[in-house]
Structures are given as structure tokens and as C-alpha cells.
Structure 1
Amino acid sequence: SFDLEEIELTKEDLYETLQISRISPYVIVKASDDNELGKIFGLGVSGFIGSVLEIEAVCFPTPEKGKGKLRFNETAGSMTKDSVFNATSVVRLITGMDLSDFDVHVNVIGGGKIDGPSAGVAITLAIVSCLTKRPIPQNIAVTGEVSIQGKVKAVGGVLEKIYGARQAGVKTVFVPKENEKDVPTDLDDIKVVPVETVQEIVEMALGKN
């Protein structure tokens, strides 16, 4: 039998356990007042806990037109593939630029897993930003499925995502207009903006090139 009074647990013991287990702290992403090209915060939910996902994109013109390739990390979830392909159609709709003339790489930093198609809008905006050289404020976050017509469609877990964004220091969250009923009315330290199209977010949030 153990005598609990004889067990001593130090801060160093806890740190070593966390290091060995590779356990990350709950909030590892923090918003800032910086502006960056091709990088945006998406939002996810694990259980009942919302979290911020760092999504980035880089774009390079190809030496030969029409020979561009699209890459993304499939560890983010099988639904990410559909979101990325939908995003390419919307990017052309918004910018008039043909993605086949660019090598585009989309990445979810840290290998975070995206729940369903809810990062479609974030992926679209990251690509638009890197193609057009319009920076994205790093104190905003977005969630929503994107249709090939550029509409922002409803997703689940909006309430949890908003609280996750707030904990990470995000100042403004863009959510689907269809989810407006899920937004709490007592929020005073984070702004929630319901939108119907990706173009609305581009006009409101992206900087000038």
C-alpha cells in the first residue's frame, strides 16, 4: 500500500512527464496585431473545446503556364481535400487568376486535424492572400464551409469555436450568416461578424497589396 504523505511531486517531475508524453498546452496559438501573407486562423472543435488552427499557403509562379501543382497535408483530414479543391474554384472567381499557373502549397501548422469542411473559408482566404499579396490581420479567425460559388455555408460547433478564438486573443471572428443564431449575445471582448460570401471577408479583412 502507498502512503500518500510520502509522495512528493515537483514542477520538474511534471515538466519531464509532459516532455516525454509530448503533450502540448491547450492554447499554443496566440493572436497578434501583425499582418502576414498567406496565413490565417481557422477554428476547430475537439469534444466540447474550441481551438485555433494556423492555416498557411504559399504560391509560386511556374516557369511554364498551366503546369502548376497543388499540395496540401492530408494528415489534416480527408475532408480537407474537398475544401482545398473548392477553394481553388473560389480563388479564381474572386481574383480572376488561374491557379494552374502557380505552384500552391497549403499547410495546417502543427498537423492539426480539421473537422469536416469547416476550414474551407480559411483555406480560400490564405490562398487569395498569397496570390494577391494582400496581408491578413493575425487577430482575426474564420470558420465556414465554402461552396464553389464562394458562399459561406453553415458549420457545427460555432459557440465552442468563438470561445476558443477568444481564449487565443482573437479580436474578430467571421462566421456563416446561417449560424448567426448560434452566436452568444453577451460577448463584449470579441467581435463576431456573420457573412454570406468569401468576398465580404476579403473586402472587410484583407489589407492592400
Structure 2
Amino acid sequence: IVRGLAWTRVGGTTLSVEVNCMPGEGKFRVTGNLGKVMTESAEAAVSYIRSQNERFKLEPDFYKKKDIHIHIPEGATPKDGPSAGVTMATAIISALTGRKVRNDVAMTGEITIRGRVLPIGGLQEKVLAAKKVGIKTVILPKENKKDLDEIMDEIKDGMQFVLAETMEDVLQTALVKGEKDA
């Protein structure tokens, strides 16, 4: 389970992204009342992971032998938008490799199939949502630095912000240290 940050019409919120990987035939499911953009982000995350299978110590054909199920609870609330890619990729990598994700971290950012982290909107609302639930570290796209600089220091007080350009940057912060190397 990885905590993502989302923008809504009434402010920011946190989203738990759950992933289960189990022996299977390569089925891929995304559930939780997600829109097309978020479903495509999940697919991009899987493509990125497949392209990096050696780095994550995964069999080249792991995707043929594992079923991957991504679920974002609170199914009655529609969810869509281009900012959950890094969260889904991190959750999938964690599930496939057995590496745990820090529970004091939340993240936002879109992912490309090559692992680049793309900018997002609604950063202030997302940071407020993270602060409200006690998140100490927020991972966000490096291209959103100017937006971060515009947020009042009182809001950012007590929080650490990690500016990510690539999924490698995200994983360096998000994954628990001392676990199996990914």
C-alpha cells in the first residue's frame, strides 16, 4: 500500500494505492472507480517496470506468470487525473520485489514508460492533505519546484520535500532502507 496525493474540487486528499501480485497468467486488473487517465498511468507503470526487470531482479517474463491487481479503495468516489503514476509504480514494485514502502511518505507525479516523473497540478492542496494526515515526507516532480516555492512556509513547516526527476529518485526515498535491494 502506497499513499498518493490527489486534487479534488473541495481540496486535496490522500489515496491509498493497494497492489497484490500473485501467481497467475499475466492478468492485469485496475479497480476502484478509476477513470481512463489513471488506468493508462497504471499501464505505463507496468511497461516501465517490465523494461527495468533486471534492475528489479525480476524474471524477464514475470508479467506472464503473475497477475497484478491495483486497487484504489473508496470505489464510490470517482478518481481520475494524471498524477498517480509514480504511486502506482512504487506500489507494483513493492509488491513484486517484497520491498516495503515507508509509511510516512506520500507522493504525486505522473510516470512515463521510460521512468521520467512528469509535473502535476494542485500541489498546495495536495501538500495540505499530506500535512493533515501527518505525512513528513512528500515526493513530487522536480518540475513542480516553482509551485512548491509559492506555498507558504507555515504549511511546509516540519515537512521534507523530495524533488524527483525519475522513478529512481522516487524509489530512493520511498522504499524502506535495509530491505532487499531493488
Report the TM-score range of the alignment, normalised by the length of the smaller protein.
0.7 to 0.9
Matched, 1:140 2:87: no
Matched, 1:87 2:45: yes
- In structure 2, how many angstroms separate the alpha carbons of the residues matched to 1:190 and 1:90? 29
Q: Which amino acid aligns with 2:91?
A: A
Match of residue 20 from structure 2: 58
- In structure 1, how many angstroms separate the alpha carbons of the residues matched to 2:32 and 2:12? 21
Larger-gyration structure (1/2): 1
Asked if the contact 1:94/1:199 (under 8 Å) is kept, the reply is no
Q: Which secondary structure does the structure 2 equivalent of 1:109 belong to?
A: coil
Asked if the contact 2:86/2:170 (under 8 Å) is kept, the reply is no
Q: CA deviation at 1:129?
A: 0.1
- In structure 1, how many angstroms separate the alpha carbons of the residues matched to 2:172 and 2:53? 12
Matched, 1:195 2:164: yes
- In structure 1, how many angstroms separate the alpha carbons of the residues matched to 2:65 and 2:172? 24
CA deviation vs aligned residue, 1:137-172 (integer Å, no higher than 9, x gap): 111111011000000001110111011111011110
- In structure 2, how many angstroms separate the alpha carbons of the residues matched to 1:93 and 1:158? 30
- In structure 2, how many angstroms separate the alpha carbons of the residues matched to 1:48 and 1:195? 27
Q: CA deviation at 1:195?
A: 0.5
Q: TM-score, normalised by structure 1?
A: 0.75
Match of residue 156 from structure 1: 121
Structure 1's unaligned 5+ residue stretches are: 1-38
Match of residue 35 from structure 1: none
Q: What is the RMSD computed on CA atoms of the aligned residues? A: 1.5
Asked if the contact 1:56/1:107 (under 8 Å) is kept, the reply is yes
Asked if the contact 1:154/1:178 (under 8 Å) is kept, the reply is yes
Q: TM-score, normalised by structure 2?
A: 0.86
Q: How many residues are treated as equivalent by the alignment?
A: 167
Q: CA deviation at 1:116?
A: 1.1
Asked if the contact 1:141/1:174 (under 8 Å) is kept, the reply is yes
- In structure 1, how many angstroms separate the alpha carbons of the residues matched to 2:78 and 2:140? 19
